[in-house]
Amino acid sequence: MRDRIRTALADRQGRWTAAISSLAAAPISTIHGFCGILLRQHGIVLGIDPSSSVLDEQQSLDLAREAARETIRQEILSGNEDAENLFRDFGLNELVDTLVSASGWLNSLGQDADWLLARVQDQEKTAADLEQQIGDEIRRYGGSFEAIGERFDELESRKAKHPLRKRDDSRALLPRIGQIAGVPTSSRLTKLAGLYIERFLSKKRVLNAVDFDDLLLGTRNLLREHNDIRRHYQDHFEALLVDEFQDTDEVQAEIISLLAADPQHPGRLAPAKLMIVGDPKQSIYRFRRARVTVFFRLLQRILDEGGRLEYLQENYRSAAPIAEFSNRLSELMMDGAGKIENIAHAQADLSYRVRFSDADVLKPKSDAPFLGITYVAAESGAKAAQGREMEAEAIARLLKEWKSSGRIQSWKEVAILMRAMTNVEIYLSALEMHGIPVYVVQGTAFYQKTEVSDLIAFLELVLHPDDELLRATVLTSSLFGVPFEELLPLPAVGAVCDRPSKIDRPYSGSRFSPRSSVTGLNTATPPPPPRFSKTLFARQISTLS
């Protein structure tokens, strides 16, 4: 038995060792990052240049709005009455937003402009059929206004016998009238959206660029249309784990389903191939076209094909009172029995309602340490500084207790968050007196740190060595420490003052305000500046590295 246990443990250890060693090569990324890799390797078969740049979300939106404005302007100038009517009805900004939204909606469904234009024909045919039906109904029930006038007295005398029949017959027409009321505007929008989409795609081709939607659609088309490529990746991935699946759209779900499909039975998922993780209660990205219904649909498919559903209820983040409050509130807001109608957000689309069941109840981790709150009582009448000193001392003592008891193994496990850095020296002093090493992270953001902004300016100067203002910025920075007054003989610094963002802050070692000093240089007439020394900067790069 001992040998069997030893063998089993060795086998398990070997598998974990192999898993850890291969972790660096594991394809772990966002779905957009994954799609980018596939298209760089195989996109040429779809006509996508592997060297295409990828537009970020804001760049894509800016380009889309530009394409929408150009489309509207072009169609109005060419005499397109539909575009003119839409412009009058919506206004420019709302019409641009509508076209851009339509494009995103199509992409999330995996459809293109041809599909959209085909819907126009369906709408117009439906409208024509409904108009014919309504005309027939009016002729059958209404006759002419003259006839109605002549029969008014007769109808009045007969209404006691048939008080509601005619009215109900007329009301029966209202839903049909409502069906066609929006068709003209919808058709105009659809046609204009098709033109806009073509222009948007053309602008991206000119830039040799793709956006996130292109990555998704391209990958979906690649896997759907090319069996050899799809089979390669189906064989390549032994298993797929997709986190935050409640935030996926139709196209993303199709990509995942294609990768997880059984090569021998393409209509089914491969056994034990796909795991999705998600919480429909956290589906908050509908504005990005995520659909919680996609989550439920694939979940049901997995269950229908022999998979199983596991609930992860143990909460590692919250104490019991917080978890209990969250459970009560979630049950109130998400119960499908109608309680949501009492909430202010009751106007939301109820097709997206998520029910709250026993499986959704959070259970606090039983053995989790209770952090608690330490109250430091200062003496009556004590000044604020004395209170801070007492607080700093209490923190230092608490950390030493944690270290002695083994609750923390290393000081690196501790971070002290402060509302402001004003009194940081008081806390540093208390920690140092107790022998606790401490490192202070200064600044409100990484790129606002002096050393970071100095290095960025330095690298910009390497790229643009003739930029005199950058030269002054770098020379007076902490990298070189040249006093600002020593730059007074440089006339170009005052002459090139179109980049004030580079000189807004005072630099280390400077006794003058950079902005006021540069302004004062405008009247100076010093000798020509010295030549820029690339050797000096090369030496500085070597020192920094």
Q: Which class is 29-52+210-304 in CATH?
A: alpha beta
pLDDT band at residue 128 under the 50/70/90 scheme: low
Cβ–Cβ < 8 Å for 465, 503: no
pLDDT digits 0-9 by tens, 335-360 = 544 333 333 333 344 444 566 777 77
What is the pLDDT confidence band of residue 33, given thresholds at 50, 70 and 90? very high
* pLDDT above 50: residue 508: no
Question: pLDDT value at position 435?
Answer: 92
Distance (Å, rounded) from C-alpha 485 to C-alpha 520?
11
Residue 170 has pLDDT above 70, yes or no: no
Q: Which of 90-94, 220-224, 287-291 has the lowest mean pLDDT?
A: 287-291
Judged against a pLDDT cut of 50, whether residue 458 lies above it is answered with yes
Cα separation, 201 vs 215, in Å, equals: 13
Residues 6 or more apart whose Cβ sits within 8 Å of residue 250: 108, 109, 110, 291, 294
371 versus 78: the higher-pLDDT residue is: 78
Runs of H (alpha helix) within 22-56 = 31-42
d(CA 163, CA 89) in angstroms, rounded, equals 41
Poorest-pLDDT segment among 36-40, 203-207, 510-514? 510-514
Please say whether the beta carbons of 134 and 177 come within 8 A.
Answer: yes
Long-range CB contacts for residues 86-90, cutoff 8 Å, separation at least 24: 86/185, 86/188, 86/189, 86/192, 89/185
Mean of the per-residue pLDDT values of the chain:
75
Looking at per-residue pLDDT, the higher value among 357 and 74 belongs to: 74
pLDDT score recorded for residue 516: 36
For 105-109, 199-203, 376-380, which range has the lowest pLDDT when averaged over its residues?
105-109
What is the per-residue pLDDT across 380-436, written as a single tens digit (0 to 9) for each?
777 888 888 999 999 999 999 999 999 899 999 999 988 877 788 899 899 999 999
Separation of first and last alpha carbons in the chain? 57
9 or 93: which leads in pLDDT:
93
Predicted local confidence at residue 317, as pLDDT: 77
Which tens digits make up the pLDDT trace of 300-312? 999 999 999 998 8
What pLDDT, on a 0 to 100 scale, did the predictor assign at position 502? 41
- Residues 80-92: pLDDT tens digits? 998 898 888 888 8
Predicted confidence (pLDDT) per residue in 461-479, tens digit: 998 888 888 888 888 887 8
Predicted local distance difference test score (pLDDT) of residue 204: 94
Is pLDDT at 241 greater than 90 in this prediction? Answer: yes
Strand locations in 358-510 (E): 363-364
The model carries a pTM of 0.57
Let me know: does 96 contact 72? Beta carbons within 8 Å.
yes
Average pLDDT over residues 115-143: 65
Is pLDDT of 150 > 60?
Answer: no
Domain boundaries, the chain: 29-52+210-304, 57-207, 314-364, 384-433, 446-544
Is the confidence at residue 545, as pLDDT, over 50? Answer: no
Q: What is the mean pLDDT of residues 443-456?
A: 71
